[in-house]
Amino acid sequence: MSDLAIIENAALVIENGIITFFGKMQDIPSNNYTEIDCSDKVVMPGFVDSHTHLLFAGSREEEFAMRSRGFTYQQIAEQGGGILSTVYKTRAASKRELKKNARRYINKMMQYGTTTVEIKSGYGLSFDDEIKMLEAIKELQKEEIITISSTFLGAHAIPPEYKNSPNQYVNLICDKIIPYVGEHKLAEFCDVFCEKGYFSVSDSEKILSTGISYGLKPKIHAEELTSYGGAILAGKLKAVSADHLENISDEGIESMKANGVVGVLLPGVSFFLNHNYAPARKLIDSGVPVAIATDFNPGSCMSYSMPLMLTIACTQMRMSPEEAITAATINAAAALNLSNEIGSIDIGKKGDVIILDIPNYKFLTYHFGENHIYKVIKNGTYLEF
């Protein structure tokens, strides 16, 4: 993760959206290209934000204020805030409204250098509303230039109607929603919030296994609020990624490592909620592939700035700038099963690159809170903002 393979005085050629050459300027194959002068700038792969909940209605700024008065995330949820408050608003919104909100966020993200984003459902929590969310994501996939991965997160919280019969909600997910999502190819991944008060390890296993049988690859929100066992399950199911991991146990780390599960760390959540950070050093030093994402959502991280996440990863989780960049590009692509298409500058990969107006890559994490993007190139095309 520490080796970025930097090339000074470099050139990069993109043809028909695909990278066809990179190397020293003097080795460039021919001169018949439209040229972009990148002198005194840094060119790197676009960021891959592998964990977001960017499709939602409403906002939760009151919760932010409550936390500054000392209330915890769990206390706020118990008082009617939290995930369910966004669920009510998202249920009331049309697909069109949801897409309009999402489009605004997506445009901003791209301006910060994100060229691929994962989006989860999970604010519908009923058959109709979960499908509404996934259909909205599918439409955005076709309409937007950014690459979008879609994740079914029906198991994000127990909906109010099933408060006293949570097992029935798990059955609804397994018997009705997942089969529909799988058959209509509405998502690539299935995710579960495996946590005390949300979904137990055995419910999570049941849901993710059902997902697997319908072609949905497993992901999991694990060990966020308590050390609960989700990371061990992730290894057992050979999940593509286990995300959060703030309270992961040594056994969880072993299980992930042994099964090649990517650990997606979300430093913006710990920062925003004033929670403990995931043990990034321990994970990396144990050989777990680590990615960084925003978790952009209205409750636990209202930021879609990947560069900000990288700086927080360096200062609070002791990752090096090089590790943070790897975590936000190629490892993040691996967290979406896309590492042979995107995430690095390589022949045959998509021409998704960002040009930064900084003298060297170390300025990316060092000069923080500033948008250093000079140009974003997606599939070989300049984006105009």
Q: Which residues of the shown chain bind Fe ion in the complex (CB under 5 A)?
A: 295
In the chain the first and final C-alpha atoms are separated, in Å, by: 32
**Residue 269 touches ligand NIG, criterion: CB under 6 A:** yes
* Structure tokens belonging to residue 159: 């909906």
Site residues (CB under 6 A) for ligand NIG, limited to 170-199: 193
Q: Which partner, Fe ion, ligand NIG, none, binds residue 114 by CB below 5 to 8 Å per kind?
A: none
- Applying CB under 6 A, the site for ligand NIG has a residue count of 13
Looking at residue 380, what DSSP letter applies? T
**Residue 300 touches ligand NIG, criterion: CB under 6 A:** yes
DSSP 3-state of 48:
strand
Nearer to Fe ion, 246 or 295 (CB): 295
Question: Which residue's entry shows tokens 């997506």?
Answer: 106
Among 19, 47, 53, 182, binds ligand NIG (CB under 6 A): 53
What minimum distance in Å lies between the beta carbon of 295 and Fe ion? 5
Contact stretch for ligand NIG (CB under 6 A) within 139-147, 290-298, 309-317, 375-383? 290-298
**Identity of the residue numbered 83:** I
**Residue 299 touches ligand NIG, criterion: CB under 6 A:** yes
Task: Name the closest residue to Fe ion (Cβ).
Answer: 295
Please give the C-alpha separations between residue 129 and each of 132, 176, 348, in angstroms, as whole numbers: 5, 13, 39
Distance between CA 270 and CA 301 in Å, rounded? 9
Which of 363, 360, 362, 326 is CA-nearest to residue 345?
Answer: 326
Nearer to ligand NIG, 53 or 206 (CB): 53
Nearer to Fe ion, 274 or 360 (CB): 274
Phi, psi of 371 (to 5 degrees): -90, 110
Residues 6+ apart with CB under 8 A from 267: 277, 278, 292, 309, 312, 313, 316, 317
Task: Name the closest residue to ligand NIG (Cβ).
Answer: 299
**Residue 86 touches ligand NIG, criterion: CB under 6 A:** yes
Positions in the binding site for ligand NIG (CB under 6 A): 53, 82-83, 86, 193, 221, 224, 269, 295, 297-300
